[in-house]
Structure 1
Amino acid sequence: MARKKFSLLPIDRISITLIVIISILIGILLIQGDVVRASVRNFSWENQKVGADDTSFSMTFSRPMDAKSVENNLKIDPPLAGKYSWAGRRMVYTLLTPAPYGTNYKVQLQGAVDKFAKKQGKNLTLQPFSGAFRTRDRAILYIGATGEEQGRLVLQNLTQDQKTVLTPKDLAVMDFKPYPEGDKVLFSARAKTNQDLLSSKIYTVTTGFPSKPTEEAQPPSRVDLVLDSDGYQNLKFDLSPDGKTIVIQRGKKDSPGDFGLWFMSARKDSSEGTKLTRLESQPSGDFLITPDSKGVAVAQGEGAAILPIQKDGSKPLDFLPQFGLVQAFSKDGTQAAMVKFNRDFQNPTRSLFLVTNQGVNKELIKTTGTIIGCQFDTASPNLYCLITQLLPGDQFLEQPYFIAINLKTGQQKALLVLPAGQRNIQMSLAPDGLGLLFDQVVSLEGGAPTTSSLKTSSGETISGSSLWLMPLLPVADASNAAEIKPEQLPIAGFYPRWLP
């Protein structure tokens, strides 16, 4: 019987050909090893707008990387000093100082190699990566002093050179605190036709900035009432650093001796709503919410007490009998600038102390004048203060000046001496530590104030005011601080504050 001749169908020939080709390619890959290049899978600041609170960014790679090759090849333009840390395929770059505001940054990485390729002696580099981010705009808030802006809260975007009047014409703003996200401002104001400085109500107003980079900003100038003045006088308020709590010092109108601290939620979407709760404690004076937002430092009796923000504040968390006032806290809460009133009736003085959570009480300055204000710098170990010195002579006249104190070395440097006799000066340190904002108020001399006249917190009528910006050089250039000259801004306003 004849054997049948075996023949392949066309589809069989195609299949066998493909199998052979694929086998050859697999063999080539096995011989050459892994040739897939590593890449950056995630850059946490990609196209983000970051602020002073954003202290680090991360990069996640598709493969474990050789750390040194990444660190040697990462380029940030303009440069930002920082330090590296690693956790597997994730690298974190922590900034040593906040990134300067109003700046666009590029991040590039090329030439880095993955960990295993280097061990095998292969020159397999990372796929080139390029990313970008920017910092928040440099923006300030102030109370207008003239014209249509008089008594109104104004936002000046220095980066974009844009001005926005936030509050309506019929309100005279007394005090304000920006929310940490920069999307809103908490402020107290009275009707312009009412000259009673204790008739103020508390409001919020939107700035036009988004609360988060991923959220859409609300339109600016939307005002909401937070707390009215029915039956009470709102004397002073503070907003917690986390933007969640408001503490208000209130006095009962029909009972002059009945005043104390109250607290409430700073956000309408909170489960607490707008519930106002009195903090049961001893009578207290000036106060400041602590950096952790859980306590409030108050002048109480002959000392300073730290009270918990809760209904029962009768048991202080801490009490410092030797100090009468807390001027400022460092951002992490480990340091405080506190004022001691020295008991010398012949020559009364005030001392500024650095107090730490490690038990250090160090006197920094003693003055015959007033310690108006201090702020810790987040970009350096410096404490910036506005202080006055009583001038010799029969006339009571104080000389105000700015001073920078290096808390590590103890070195002190006078930055600027202001004209003698100036009062009601306000200062504000930029969130990136590169500028000090202050005002120079001109009080009304002669003539009767009108019902719409502006007044300082001490009751003096304001006839005008100018804003000044003093650049602060980076820490590395501190030796040139004497060359710093303040610049007068083309703004007629007072009580300036930087937007976070």
Structure 2
Amino acid sequence: MPFPQPLDKAALGVMLVAALFTLLLLWGGDRTHAQVRYFTWQNRDIGADDRAFILAFNRLMDWSSVTQHLRIEPPLAGKASWSGRRFAYTLTQPIPYGQTFQLSLDEAVSVPQGKPMQAFQGQFRSRDRVLVYLGSGVEEGRLILYNLTLQQKTFLSPPNLRVFDFQPYPAGDRILFSASERGEQMSFDPQLYTVTTGLHFNAPDRPRRQPRPIGELSLILDNSDYQNLRFQLANDGSKIIVQRVNRLQPMESSLWLLDRNFQPRRLNQAAAGDFRIAPDNQHLIIAQGQGLAIVPLVPESKETAFDFLPQYGMVLDFSRDGRKVAVVKFNPNFSRSLYVVNIFGTHEELLTVNGSILAAQFDPRAEHLYVILTRIEGDETYREVPYLGLFDLKTKQLYKLKDFAPQQDLYLSLSPDGRTLAVDYAEGHSTPDTIDNSDLYGDTAPLEGSPDLLGELPTPDTGEAPPRSEQPQPQQHQIWLFPLELNQDKITVGMPEPLAPGLQARWLP
């Protein structure tokens, strides 16, 4: 047998070393500790749509020990699940805004060795609690941002503009609004603008970037050839629908679509009533006569899940997941009925009233519905008295929370975490001592609530009620915040607290 060549010697040596290393590894085992490789919420800003985080490990773990030793401060209720080397924790309630959280995990063990893992510390925060509203009184017509987390108030619009309406973009970094120059006459001839809020939240699924400076104003649609009326921003911020009137032909009113680059394109659709963009961002819902029309915004749009809407007269709100919608049906006897309908075609009537159904908004889990309704009072003088209510959609029970003065303009907005309800109404009015339920039909909405039930509004003990003044008092819209305590199957409503003079308050996402 010939003597091995040098290359054969080298190969043989490598094989012997590898075999020796394998034997040592099998004898001694892998002595590295189990550890967290990455945490999806690390140093991120978490919003209400972020429902779960993932911890990825470098080896298989005893998942029961991970669940047992996982700590989050302040606590966040949730459910654990796992697959392979990944551990997921899904929140059962939206994360409360305006807080910083610490996550820790130690003493959990790996399998099959049963060795303790290397201790892990993580940190994340929820988004700030931020309201945007229109000023009232001396601040009339100004667009104002109020950061409740930082207790900072900022004017977004310049003083030369009077703002009429606005809608926040889904990222909270910009506001779309209509406004006109202030002048001697209170004419309504707005242009459309965007303005930056100075906020940017580093969401878990998006690259990090620096926020744009606050107050950057951009004109996106002028009023030279058309008068701009109402507008709607899509949920994803991809498009805007604007109702416009031709100045040369005032009887011609039509809808226009603006894309992400704000290029206007006229739709072949007349603007006869209220309209809103559906949750799929591909269809437009328009109030027409006795029903609702569903119009595709792009030719390739598929059929919408809400093809049943034409039998109703008005859309009030969609649930966050787009699976439920609150709608109003106008009845032949001039009463109105409130329904909640899901994408599977289940129609549930909540109540019928002789008054009006002004507004409604689902809570984040679509288990409750906040509403503003009115009842009719007076035999000779017709007046509508509004009140705030809360429906438990499981039981269809309505809980009245607060009465307001007659003939008021009201607006409600529920915070994205479902823990604060903003309502604006005019000050300087008295409210009735008793609540009249005669405007409700049948047994669809029982109103006998006890203090231990959902939605009870505590009343402070102020002793003897002061005498009511017959002198008319000046009206100024004031924003009030109702704190909400979320439990497993009920909501407790606290005493409202005033925030600032203003109206049309909307929470940033």
TM value normalised by structure 1: 0.83
Q: Is the 8 A contact 2:99 2:125 kept in 1?
A: yes
Pick from 486, 491, 498 the counterpart of residue 496 of structure 2.
Answer: 486
Q: Is the 8 A contact 2:243 2:271 kept in 1?
A: no
Which residue of 2 is the match for residue 279 of structure 1?
267
- CA RMSD in angstroms comes to 2.6
User: Tell me, what secondary structure is at the counterpart of 1:70?
Assistant: helix
Which residue of 2 is the match for residue 465 of structure 1?
477
Pick from 485, 488, 505 the counterpart of residue 476 of structure 1.
Answer: 488
1:27-46 correspondence runs (5 A): 30-46=26-42
Q: Is the 8 A contact 2:292 2:309 kept in 1?
A: yes
User: Tell me, what secondary structure is at the counterpart of 1:215?
Assistant: coil
1:284-319: per-residue Cα shift (whole Å, max 9, x none)? Answer: 311111112111211123211222113799x99835
**How much has 1:211 moved relative to structure 2?**
5.6
Does the C-alpha gap of structure 1 residues 194 and 42 become closer, same or farther in structure 2, counting only changes over 3 Å?
A: farther
Q: Is the 8 A contact 2:484 2:492 kept in 1?
A: no
For residues 329 and 402 of structure 2, the distance between their equivalents in structure 1, rounded to whole angstroms, comes to 24
For residues 254 and 365 of structure 1, the distance between their equivalents in structure 2, rounded to whole angstroms, comes to 46
Pick from 402, 409, 415 the counterpart of residue 416 of structure 1.
Answer: 402
1:331-380: per-residue Cα shift (whole Å, max 9, x none)? Answer: 11111000111111xxx211111111111111112112111111111145
Q: Answer yes or no: is 1:496 the counterpart of 2:474.
A: no
For residues 134 and 283 of structure 1, the distance between their equivalents in structure 2, rounded to whole angstroms, comes to 43
Pick from 219, 240, 245 the counterpart of residue 246 of structure 1.
Answer: 240
**How much has 1:477 moved relative to structure 2?**
7.3
Does the C-alpha gap of structure 1 residues 263 and 209 become closer, same or farther in structure 2, counting only changes over 3 Å?
A: same
Amino acid at match of 2:421: L
Amino acid at match of 2:342: T
Q: Is the 8 A contact 2:127 2:201 kept in 1?
A: no
**How much has 1:441 moved relative to structure 2?**
3.1
Which residue of 2 is the match for residue 14 of structure 1?
none
Does the C-alpha gap of structure 1 residues 312 and 38 become closer, same or farther in structure 2, counting only changes over 3 Å?
A: closer
Q: Answer yes or no: is 1:131 the counterpart of 2:117.
A: no
Q: Is the 8 A contact 1:304 1:323 kept in 2?
A: yes
For residues 312 and 279 of structure 1, the distance between their equivalents in structure 2, rounded to whole angstroms, comes to 15
Which residue of 1 is the match for residue 227 of structure 2?
233
User: Tell me, what secondary structure is at the counterpart of 1:372?
Assistant: strand
Q: Answer yes or no: is 1:302 the counterpart of 2:290.
A: yes
Pick from 361, 372, 383 the counterpart of residue 358 of structure 2.
Answer: 372
Pick from 180, 184, 205 the counterpart of residue 174 of structure 2.
Answer: 184
1:11-410 correspondence runs (5 A): 30-117=26-113, 123-147=114-138, 149-193=139-183, 195=185, 197-210=187-200, 212=202, 214-265=208-259, 267=260, 273-310=261-298, 318=307, 320-344=309-333, 348-379=334-365, 381-410=367-396
Which residue of 1 is the match for residue 471 of structure 2?
none
Q: Is the 8 A contact 1:288 1:298 kept in 2?
A: yes
TM value normalised by structure 2: 0.81
Quick check: 42-51 or 194-203, which moved more?
A: 194-203
Amino acid at match of 2:360: C
Q: Is the 8 A contact 2:320 2:366 kept in 1?
A: no
For residues 300 and 116 of structure 1, the distance between their equivalents in structure 2, rounded to whole angstroms, comes to 66
For residues 84 and 94 of structure 2, the distance between their equivalents in structure 1, rounded to whole angstroms, comes to 26
1:435-472: per-residue Cα shift (whole Å, max 9, x none)? Answer: 110111369xxxxxxxxxxxxxxxxxx96221100111
Which residue of 1 is the match for residue 454 of structure 2?
none
User: Tell me, what secondary structure is at the counterpart of 2:150?
Assistant: coil
Unaligned runs of 5+ in 2: 1-19, 429-473
**How much has 1:206 moved relative to structure 2?**
0.4
**How much has 1:170 moved relative to structure 2?**
0.7
For residues 330 and 427 of structure 2, the distance between their equivalents in structure 1, rounded to whole angstroms, comes to 29
Does the C-alpha gap of structure 1 residues 311 and 151 become closer, same or farther in structure 2, counting only changes over 3 Å?
A: farther
1:12-71: per-residue Cα shift (whole Å, max 9, x none)? Answer: xxxxxxxxxxx9x99886544332211000001111111112111111101111221111
Does the C-alpha gap of structure 1 residues 478 and 60 become closer, same or farther in structure 2, counting only changes over 3 Å?
A: same
Which residue of 1 is the match for residue 453 of structure 2?
none
Q: Is the 8 A contact 2:316 2:359 kept in 1?
A: yes
User: Which has the higher Rg, Structure 1 or Structure 2?
Assistant: 1
Q: Is the 8 A contact 1:277 1:311 kept in 2?
A: no
Amino acid at match of 1:74: L
For residues 65 and 389 of structure 1, the distance between their equivalents in structure 2, rounded to whole angstroms, comes to 60
**How much has 1:282 moved relative to structure 2?**
5.0
User: Tell me, what secondary structure is at the counterpart of 1:255?
Assistant: coil
**4+ long deviations beyond 6 Å:** 25-29
Q: Is the 8 A contact 2:132 2:144 kept in 1?
A: yes
Q: Is the 8 A contact 2:255 2:270 kept in 1?
A: no
Does the C-alpha gap of structure 1 residues 50 and 67 become closer, same or farther in structure 2, counting only changes over 3 Å?
A: same
Which residue of 1 is the match for residue 451 of structure 2?
none
Amino acid at match of 2:244: R
Which residue of 2 is the match for residue 18 of structure 1?
none
Amino acid at match of 2:74: P
Does the C-alpha gap of structure 1 residues 160 and 477 become closer, same or farther in structure 2, counting only changes over 3 Å?
A: farther
For residues 355 and 194 of structure 1, the distance between their equivalents in structure 2, rounded to whole angstroms, comes to 47
User: Tell me, what secondary structure is at the counterpart of 1:199?
Assistant: coil
For residues 50 and 113 of structure 1, the distance between their equivalents in structure 2, rounded to whole angstroms, comes to 29
For residues 472 and 393 of structure 1, the distance between their equivalents in structure 2, rounded to whole angstroms, comes to 37
1:372-414: per-residue Cα shift (whole Å, max 9, x none)? Answer: 1111111451111111111242212112111111222222211
Amino acid at match of 2:170: P
Quick check: 77-86 or 104-113, which moved more?
A: 77-86
**How much has 1:279 moved relative to structure 2?**
2.0
User: Tell me, what secondary structure is at the counterpart of 1:476?
Assistant: coil
Unaligned runs of 5+ in 1: 1-22, 118-122, 268-272, 444-461
Does the C-alpha gap of structure 1 residues 480 and 463 become closer, same or farther in structure 2, counting only changes over 3 Å?
A: closer
Q: Is the 8 A contact 2:177 2:193 kept in 1?
A: yes
Q: Percent identity?
A: 41
For residues 155 and 169 of structure 1, the distance between their equivalents in structure 2, rounded to whole angstroms, comes to 14
**How much has 1:237 moved relative to structure 2?**
0.6
For residues 402 and 109 of structure 1, the distance between their equivalents in structure 2, rounded to whole angstroms, comes to 44
